[in-house]
């Protein structure tokens, strides 16, 4: 007789993992969460939302190959922040308030304590985003993922009043672009990063004077979550468009918010450059345009506003705890010019 456990899946480990996760997930709940973990679906009420014409906005993403560095470091409590950030930062670009999040964790062999650390990071990301983790899936897949490795993805659902959707339609030449500093590489471009920094733990654990920390710590810095800042700023100012700077960098992401026939000029010297991005340039030998088409280069989110309020918005962003810079101007020529 060959049972499920002999095939590599021990359901008792799954039960233990869920029990360990519950204390973290409940810390993200608000009064709109109905029920508890363990149901076949997550329930979230929107009956008390003030939106007159409520529109749901969704986003999905994963952590990507940044996870390789989590495996090397045996550090699993921050990649969940990355997972939430990649989704919630996208949703808030439309002016939507994130409501809830669901995650998907797939492992070769399930270690409940490791799963707890991963989900604790997801819950921290949810708390930073102001949303609830109302469910998810943990899949044990022996023979599919190497033991000790896993994949982590998720999706976020937010809500916005239809009349308040931010879609960039009013952006015009002369408007200004405000960049919000990133916390590091965030969670994009790591297939190239791993080529440049390698996967030797001994070398990655070395400290670098320019970084002020080890390479591994710098590479595992969690993605900054801008949700609460953005929700606050759009209450106070007219924000015409918001771009989350992810894979594709400035070159691909900023034009996504522009109407047809509109582009921008970016002053790359308008904000401080992190030594980490300088290292990426040095090690890769890539031209400037290629770097800005791959990494966020120190700017994790870009807001477009009228020129007459740009400095006021930038100052307010600083008051809210962001490092913010006026980094460019909208033009009537398509494309991004550095």
pLDDT in tens, 55-66: 999 999 999 999
pLDDT in tens, 273-291: 899 999 999 999 999 999 9
pLDDT in tens, 74-115: 999 999 999 999 999 999 999 999 999 999 999 999 999 999
Looking at the predicted structure, is the pLDDT value of residue 5 above 80? no
Global confidence as pTM: 0.95
pLDDT in tens, 300-321: 999 999 999 999 999 999 999 9
* 241 bridge partner residues: 304
Average pLDDT over residues 226-243: 98
Q: Give residue 100's Cα distance to chain centre.
A: 15
Element (H, E) at 89: helix 79-92
pLDDT in tens, 200-220: 999 999 999 999 999 999 999
**pLDDT > 90 fraction of the chain, expressed in percent and rounded:** 91
Pairing of strands 299-305, 33-34: unpaired
**Over the chain, what is the mean pLDDT?**
95
Length of the chain: 338
Tokens at residue 315, please? 């100052």
Cα–Cα separations (whole angstroms), residue 285 to 196, 215, 245, 277, 290: 10, 19, 22, 12, 10
Give the residue among 276, 310, 322, 312 at the shortest CA–CA distance from 181. Answer: 322
pLDDT band at 7 (very low <50, low <70, confident <90, very high): low
Going through 108-259 in order, the beta strands assigned E by DSSP cover: 132-140, 150-161, 176-181, 207-208, 213-214, 241-244
Looking at the predicted structure, is the pLDDT value of residue 334 above 90? yes
pLDDT of residue 37: 65
pLDDT in tens, 22-31: 889 999 999 9
Average pLDDT over residues 237-243: 98
How far apart are the C-alpha atoms of 338 and 326, rounded to whole Å?
14
pLDDT band at 181 (very low <50, low <70, confident <90, very high): very high
pLDDT of residue 259: 97
pLDDT of residue 12: 87
Looking at the predicted structure, is the pLDDT value of residue 4 above 70? no
How far apart are the C-alpha atoms of 221 and 194, rounded to whole Å?
15
């Amino acid at each position: 007789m060959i049972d499920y456990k002999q095939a590599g899946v021990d359901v008792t480990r799954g039960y233990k993992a869920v029990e360990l996760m519950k204390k973290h997930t409940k810390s993200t709940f608000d009064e709109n969460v109905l029920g508890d973990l363990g149901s076949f679906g997550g329930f979230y009420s929107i009956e008390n939302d003030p939106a007159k014409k409520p529109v749901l906005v969704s986003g999905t993403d994963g952590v990507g190959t940044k996870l390789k560095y989590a495996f090397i470091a045996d550090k699993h409590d921050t990649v969940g922040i990355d997972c939430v950030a990649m989704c919630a930062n996208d949703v808030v670009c439309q002016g939507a308030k994130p409501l809830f999040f669901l995650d998907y964790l797939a492992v070769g062999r399930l270690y409940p304590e490791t799963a707890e650390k991963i989900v604790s990071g997801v819950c921290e990301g949810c708390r930073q985003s102001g949303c609830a983790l109302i469910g998810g899936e943990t899949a044990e897949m022996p023979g599919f993922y190497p033991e000790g490795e896993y994949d982590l993805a998720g999706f976020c659902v937010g809500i916005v009043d239809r009349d308040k959707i931010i879609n960039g339609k009013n952006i015009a030449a002369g408007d200004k672009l405000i960049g919000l500093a990133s916390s590091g590489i965030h969670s994009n471009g790591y297939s190239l990063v791993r080529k440049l920094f390698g996967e030797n733990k001994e070398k990655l654990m070395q400290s670098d004077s320019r970084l002020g920390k080890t390479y591994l710590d710098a590479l595992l810095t969690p993605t900054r979550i801008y949700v609460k800042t953005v929700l606050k700023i759009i209450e106070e100012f007219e924000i015409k468009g918001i771009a989350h700077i992810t894979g594709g960098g400035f070159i691909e992401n900023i034009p996504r918010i522009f109407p047809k026939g509109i582009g921008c000029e970016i002053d790359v010297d308008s904000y401080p450059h992190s030594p980490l991005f300088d290292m990426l340039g040095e090690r890769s030998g890539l031209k400037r345009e290629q770097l800005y088409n791959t990494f966020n280069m120190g700017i994790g989110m870009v807001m477009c506003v009228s020129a007459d309020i740009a400095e006021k918005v930038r100052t307010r962003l600083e008051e809210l705890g962001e490092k913010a810079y006026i980094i460019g101007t909208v033009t009537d020529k398509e494309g991004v010019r550095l």
